Amino acid sequence: MITKRIIPCLDVMNGRTVKGINFVNLRDAGDPVELAQNYADVGADELVFLDITATNEKRKTLTELVQRVAQKVNIPFTVGGGIGSVEDVYTLLHAGADKVSINSAAIKKPYLLNELSGKFGNQCIVVAIDAKQVNGSWNVYLNGGRIPTEMDLFEWAKEVENRGAGEILFTSMNHDGTKNGFANEALLTLSELLNISVIASGGAGKAAHFRDTFQKGKADAALAASVFHYGEISIPELKLYLTEQQIPIRI
């Protein structure tokens, strides 16, 4: 049986880890390299770093961060933010990232996913999808949740799978930072629709929420930020709890 994964997410802005609620009201959460090393030490399965205000000018800064992280951790880590070309992906993978996360660029240039999966393999291509439920429909958003589109979450997820994505990182903007649980109904739909891994993001507040997203949402992995950054949930204790709940997890 394939084990479920616990993934701390580090939103990075100007070289620091930050966290907010519903994508706004950001506050400092520490040094990303120090946090990464700590998470690797206590049993995180993977890490995700998202440069939430990335621009081309900051690509050098992000590359340096990847190099520093790669020197400190021995678990897979994904890097995203402002990635828009084959060259960007090559630079980050060469610097030490195991996977890259593509979001807005995939929406603007869907063919990019075909190019990336063809050149690097789909195992290192993660497509991040930020979506909000409005009047019963899940709409995809661009630019870190700032710009709404008319794209449907589920149609877009299926398209990116067909174009070569190896994983989907779905963040519910309705749930992000609220600590009221993940968007399990939408996750279940995604999990049943797709043949690739689905990572749940947005809404973790207690251990039971992770159990629910694995059992009810059928997510392959669960990502969280503030509950880990501020010590509200301990990863070793979370994994013991999930084991007791009969969730296959790596201890």
- What are the residue numbers of the active site? 11, 130
Secondary structure of the chain as H, E, C letters: CCCEEEEEEEEEECCEEEEEECCEEEEEEECHHHHHHHHHHHCCCCEEEEECCCCHHHHHHHHHHHHHHHHHCCCCEEEECCCCCHHHHHHHHHHCCCEEEECHHHHHCCHHHHHHHHHHCHHHEEEEEEEEEECCEEEEEECCCCEEEEEEHHHHHHHHHHCCCCEEEEEECCCCCCCCCCCHHHHHHHHHHCCCEEEEECCCCCHHHHHHHHHCCCCCEEEECHHHHCCCCCHHHHHHHHHHCCCCECC
Strands 197-201 vs 221-224: parallel, antiparallel or unpaired: parallel
Q: Which two tokens stand for residue 135?
A: 């009047």
